[in-house]
Each structure stands twice: as C-alpha cells, then as structure tokens.
Amino acid sequence: FRTVLVAEPSVEETRRILYNLRPRLERNYSVRLLDEAIDTALEMSPRYQGHLHLPDKVIGWLDTAAVRAEIDRRWEVQAKDVVEVISHAAQIPKDMVFRDVGDRFKDIEQRLGKRVIGQKKAVEALAHRLVLNKGPLKDGFDRPDGVLLFLGPTGVGKTELAKAIAEFLFGDEKKMIRIDMSEYQDGGVSVDKLIGMPRGIVGSERGGLLTNQLKDNPCTVVLFDEIEKASPSLLNLFLQAFDEGWITDGRGKRVYLSDAIVIMTSNVGSEYFRKLTSPMGFRSGSLPMDQIKCDVDRELERKFPPEFRNRIDGIVLFQPLTTDEVREIALKYIANVEATLTRWNKSLVVEPEALEKLVQEGYSLAYGARFLKRVIDDKIKLPISQRWKEVGQFRATVQNDQIVMEAAGPRLL
C-alpha cells in the first residue's frame, strides 16, 4: 500500500465543486440554491470553524441551509440562510458573521461603563481595540480577536471588565475561560495541564484544561489571571497562539483561538500606582498618569521578554479608585440587595452616614474594592438574614461609630 495525500482545494476550486453539486442539492431538497448563498459560504470559509476543511465545510453549511429552507417551506436558499447556519455552527451572533460593528458597538463604552465604575479611560481604550479587532479591517482573521494586558492594582475592576466583555459580546458573563496562572509556575507540568499530555501517556485521553474548553466554546473570553506568575515555558507556548491563532494540543490536533479574546491581568508595577493615592488609599491624582505609564512600561520590559510583549495588541491601565467611585460601587451592591428584598415584599434604607462608613471600611489600597463586598455582606446582608422572618423593613445607621441594622417597620407576625 502507498500513502496518497489529498490536498485541500482552493476557494476557486471549491466554487467549481459547488456549482457541479448544486443540481443534486436542489433536487434532494426541492429548493433553489442561489449564487449569493454559495458566495457567502465561500467568503466566510477562511474565517470560521478552522478545524474543518474545504469543500466539506461549505457543503455542510449549504446542506443545512437547504434542509432548513425545505422545513420552512421556502423555495430559495439565500445568503441570510447561510449566515444563520454559520452563526449557529460557530456560536457567534448573526450580526457578527460579517464583522459589522456599526450597531452592536455604537454604545459599547456606555454599556461597559455601567458595570465597571471608575475606569473610563480603560473602558475607552478597550472599546477602541475591540471595534478594530472585531471589525472588517482586522489584520489576519486567524489571530485572536484581541490579545490584551490589563494592568493595575488589585480590586479595581480588571476581572469585572473581562466578565462585562463576555456578557456584551456573547450574552453571558460565563462565556469565559478563566485560568489562574499562579497554579502554572512549574514549566513542563503546567504545559501538560493546559494542552494535555502527549499521545501514549496515561491520561492523555483527558486532554488539557485550556484546549478542551476552547474546543467546546471557540467564541469566548480567555482570561489568564496574574500572567506574571506563569512559567517561561508557558509564555513561549502562548507566542504561537497569539501570533498564529492556534495551539497544538498534546494529541497533535490544532485548537483555534481565532474567535476568542485573550485577556491577561497582572499586578506588575502596582507600586507605581500607589503614587496616585492619598494616605487613605483613594486616588488623589498627585502625579500625572503619563509618568506612571512610563514607569510601568519599564517594569514590563524587565518582567516579560520582547517577543511576548510584541504580540500584545494593547495594554490597558486601571487606576486606583476615588472616594466617589467607591461610593458608587457600594450603592450598586446595595441596589442589588434592595432588588432582592423587593421581591420578598421587604425594604432597606441605608442612611448617608452608614454609607460613608461602608466606604471607609470597605476600600483599601491592599484589597481595592474587592473587600467592599465583604463588608456589605457582614454589615448589611448578614443582619438581614438573621432577622429575615421577624422584620419587613430594615434601616442601616451608625451608632457608637459602628454600623447597626435596625427594624424600620412593625414586626412581622
């Protein structure tokens, strides 16, 4: 026996194959397959489902579109039918198949800003990068739709903004693969955990943590938390992934990141952001942000090799929060509690002095606003939960410099 290699046909060769196949498809499903449907399928073929090949990929799309047209008792297969099939197969919104960023992205800054408070410049920089990379002028459709590095002190909204992106683009903040790089500091073991062990080794059939999830959800946000803690061999693995848009897993198969957005968070240079804060830890603006950026860039040069930095599309800086911004975040958390109480015919009033006390106790330079939620849990939600059956109206006040939860209405029977 002799091995015969069958090369994948070009787009033009596939076009001739489809024209020859069209009469059979039309006869099988009693529909008319328009030229625009074939042209759309061929135009989109290099962009989506990279693990499949021509002509099988476009034949499958057109076959599915013809079946749907027959079921719906429509006699023509149009371009929009093929777009719906590609949208379903690639798990992307229909309006993003042609990478039309007009309507979807016109209010991206406002929508992200509602969820991530106090980071207007970071949201603006991210929005511009997404419009560019998600738009029709993206350089290379094989590359990820964005490779971004989020820098700033802890607890200022880096992870929250990544969740907001997943919700904005894919409709669910859970459409995200989150990997804590502090668990991947050992070179060879780390690589095997992410991409799977080589074929022939016990456990290789399980695959890798990253590659398995990418196969199941190619359109996703990939979040690498604390990237500076990753081993150098793992950073080398990402060089190809960020440049070519795919990773070879332990079994030798390609896994694509071309429809993913890669976000890395890091606390590198956090000490420079302290220069922006007052003794209480809130942002005071005593130094210009441009000077801080220069200091952080020098720290990045020391931490990451140039070939890794060159593959990053954009670096987004997050600033420490001001008192007003922390207050706004606290009000957002309290509004969530109030909404839950309303569904149970209960109410909550937080007096201004209690709100200020929550802000002072809930924010620190060491933990950022992450500790604020914990304080609200202890001072607001816990007392409400303990008196849930006996009180219908609650009021948070300050007595003896302590937040106290009082009953604001009659006791429940």
Tens-digit pLDDT profile for residues 206-256: 778 898 898 888 888 999 998 988 888 888 888 888 988 888 888 888 888
Confidence class for position 269, pLDDT limits 50, 70, 90: confident
Q: Is the dihedral of CA 273, 278, 283, 287 positive or negative?
A: negative
Q: Compute the average pLDDT of residues 373-383.
A: 92
> By C-alpha distance, which of 133, 340, 146, 343 is closest to 257?
146
C-alpha pair distances (Å), 138 with each of 225, 370, 382: 26, 35, 49
Residue of higher predicted confidence among 404 and 284 = 404
Residues, the chain: 413
pTM, entire model: 0.83
Read off φ and ψ for residue 201, nearest 5 degrees. Answer: -95, 140
Return the residue matching tokens 């996703």. Answer: 220
List pLDDT tens digits, range 76-93: 999 999 999 999 988 888
pLDDT of residue 64 exceeding 90: yes
Burial grade of 173 (CB within 10 A; 0-12, 13-18, 19 or more):
middle
Q: What is the pLDDT of residue 96?
A: 79
What distance in Å separates the CA atoms of residue 381 and residue 348, rounded to the nearest whole number? 10
DSSP state of 368: B
DSSP state of 8: P
pLDDT of residue 387 exceeding 80: yes
Tokens standing for residue 52: 């499949």
Q: Is the dihedral of CA 319, 325, 329, 332 positive or negative?
A: negative
- Percent pLDDT > 70 in the chain is 92
Strands 147-151, 246-248: pairing kind: unpaired
Question: Percentage helix, strand, coil, to 5, in the chain?
Answer: 50, 15, 35
Question: Do residues 184 and 196 make contact, with C-beta atoms less than 8 angstroms apart?
Answer: no
Count of alpha carbons within 13 angstroms of residue 361, beta-carbon side: 18
Amino acid at 367: Y
Tokens standing for residue 23: 């009469």
Question: Do residues 230 and 191 make contact, with C-beta atoms less than 8 angstroms apart?
Answer: no
SS3 for 317? strand
Distance from CA of residue 333 to its chain's centroid? 22
Return the residue matching tokens 């057109």. Answer: 62
Q: What is the pLDDT of residue 199?
A: 65
Region of poorest pLDDT, from 132-141, 320-329, 383-392: 132-141
Q: What is the pLDDT of residue 413?
A: 39
